[in-house]
Amino acid sequence: MQTLTSPAHTYKHDINIMQFGSLADLFSFNMARFSNDVAIVDKNIEYTYEELRQAVESIAYELNELNLKPKECVTINLKPSFKMISSLLAVMQLGCHFILLDQNNTKSRNEQILSDSNTRVLITEGECDLNFSGQKFSADSLRSVTDLSLSARAYPKLALDDLAYMVYTSGSTGTPKGVLISHEGIMSYLQTAINQYYHTQLEGTLLVASPSFDMGITSILIPLCLGHKIVIMDMTSITIRAGRFLNSKQSGNLLIRITPTGMKSILLASGKKTNDNNHTFVIGGENFATSLAEQINKVFPSATIWNHYGPTECVVGCTLYQYKEEISVSGNNLPCGVQMRNSVVLILDPQTRLPVGQGEVGEIYIGKDALSLGYYNNTQLTAKHFIHTDKTTGSSLPSIIYKTGDLGYFNNIGELVFCGRIDNQSKVNGYRFEMEEIESVIIASKLVSTTVVINQDGTSKNLTAFIQPIEKNKLISQELIGYLEQFLPSYAIPGTFKIVKEWPITSNGKIDRKALCKGEVHV
């Protein structure tokens, strides 16, 4: 598989992240180096790197008073804010690893995460109704750093393979599973990301995605590597606020990491007015329709647009595709692109784990400089998905590869094309079919902006397409069915079409398919 060629922007930054022993070392260095520069803009209040350093020292001191030991877990239950970022940096300084809870989660899910992760200290503010038997620390009031005696020299020395943080993702059983991210793994990703999609005209990031997931965490960590700023807005209706802000001159040039679903909301709020800022949109987590990329390009013609693929287990992402207006794309969705410089992407036969031919669909496996360390307290699941390559053939493979459960193939120029999930293959009237393929054809009709197809019982009669028509209040069913009959076999044409007014969204910004299955949506 080929690697990325140099794009139009300059991507050379004066930073070698891997020379530092840990993220904590890097950020301590940068807080001193960029002391007078703006680090965080929290709801229009600016905080410098020196103010950030002082807050980190203060929180670290308070946590140290709780007899917190290196390698223990600290869970942070704060809204995106200056305090939240200060807290996660303090946790790393103490040699511990953090979890960021999503406050949009249900109470039971967050309690499940606290219990599963063996959290030692919970950082919170205000009244916290979570049932937690460990120690709680309130971030409501902090002593001035001048009153504290803990110095940087007292911090423990970290190793690259020490944990930096955990991300809890949804399991197939509905039980969240903790993915272990080491300092080496995230540092390798950050260095590669900065060199490949964070161009030198960017001034920082706008935090739009939930910090409890990859997109939000990297929106925080990337600017801190360079002495740039993190812009935080009120997260209520964040995509609407972000759309208006990004289409104003005051925003400057920012990196935005978001899902396609979230990006559509940003475009709605932006209106039809075009903006000349050199933003960078790195979009992932769902299929990225070519039509959406075209819409982004119309509103933000000077922006750089990337499709970014990769599961959390491979540490954030592993491929990139840059959308360019002058390059035609075959298919209704953008390719996932080519492997990032720290990654190896393989397409293997699901049964034999041998490479398939170019253009053949197989299962996507990922190797890296540093994959995640597996799943917390779940050796069986780790062994199932993180494969030691001595069990496969071929000496050129990385020592461990991650079995994604995703299907894909390499097109004729070596780009990865995503074809759906192995576990989202369904039998319809006895025929095996991908729901994503049906969705792709529906989008290609140009009658529908977004769709999700659900197979209720294995028959086309109960194959349901949830849709949002491009033109509101227009009856399109017969026109749409006529289009589908040209491209799909009869058994793959949904028997029911339901118009969705507002999509149910998961906490990481994706359409909630489970809620659709349960009927938890207004149609």
Alpha helix stretches (DSSP H) within 128-254: 183-196, 214-226, 238-246
Q: What is the pLDDT of residues 402-460, one digit of tens each?
A: 999 999 999 999 999 998 888 766 666 556 677 877 888 898 888 998 899 988 665 55
- For 473, the 3-state DSSP assignment is coil
DSSP at 285: S
pLDDT of 145: 56
Identify which has the larger pLDDT, 459 or 272: 272
**pLDDT computed for residue 421 by the predictor:** 81
Confidence of residue 127 (pLDDT cuts 50, 70, 90): confident
What is the per-residue pLDDT for 6? 39
Q: Which of 63-72, 89-98, 269-278, 421-430 has the lowest mean pLDDT?
A: 421-430
Q: Are 155 and 24 a contacting pair, CB within 8 Å? A: yes
Query: How many helices (H) and strands (E) would you count in the chain?
Result: 13, 25
Give pLDDT, residue 237: 86
Q: E strand or H helix at 82, and its extent?
A: helix 82-93
The answer to whether residues 88 and 73 touch, using CB atoms and an 8 Å cutoff, is no
Which pLDDT score, from 0 to 100, does residue 398 have?
83
Split at pLDDT 50, 70, 90, the class of 270 is confident
> Assign residue 325 a region: left if phi > 0, alpha if psi is -120 to 50, beta otherwise?
alpha
In this predicted structure, which of 198-207, 324-333, 451-460, 493-502 has the lowest mean pLDDT? 451-460
- Provide the mean pLDDT of the chain: 88
pLDDT score recorded for residue 273 = 75
The residue with greater pLDDT, 390 or 90, is 90
- Least confident window among 129-133, 148-152, 382-386, 518-522: 148-152
Rounded to an integer, the average pLDDT of 380-390 is 91
204-216: average pLDDT: 95
CATH of domain 433-517: 3.30.300.30
State mean pLDDT over 330-350. Answer: 93
Asked if pLDDT for residue 293 goes beyond 50, the answer is: yes
Q: What is the mean pLDDT of residues 363-377?
A: 94
Pick the more confident residue, 512 or 120.
Answer: 120
Q: Are 121 and 63 in contact (CB under 8 A)?
A: yes
- 105 or 362: whose pLDDT is higher? 362
Burial 88-114 (b: 16+ CB within 10 A, else e): bbbbbbbbbbbbbbbeebeeebbbbbb
pLDDT given for residue 153 in this prediction: 47
Average pLDDT over residues 78-82: 96
How many Å from the N-terminal Cα to the C-terminal Cα in the chain?
43
pLDDT over 70 at 468, yes or no: yes
User: At 148, is the pLDDT very low, low, confident or very high (cuts 50, 70, 90)?
Assistant: low
Look up the pTM and report it: 0.85
Give Cα separations from 359 to 275, 412, 438 (angstroms): 39, 7, 20
112: left (phi over 0), alpha (psi -120 to 50) or beta: alpha
Looking from the CA of 22 toward its CB, the CA atoms found within 13 Å total 24
Q: What is the DSSP string of 411-468?
A: -TTS-EEEEEEGGGEEEETTEEEEHHHHHHHHHHTTSEEEEEEEESSSSGGGEEEEEE
Listing DSSP states for 88-141 in one string gives HHHHHHTT-EEEE--TTS-HHHHHHHHHHTT-SEEEE-S-------SEEEE-S-
Residue 474, strand partner residues? none
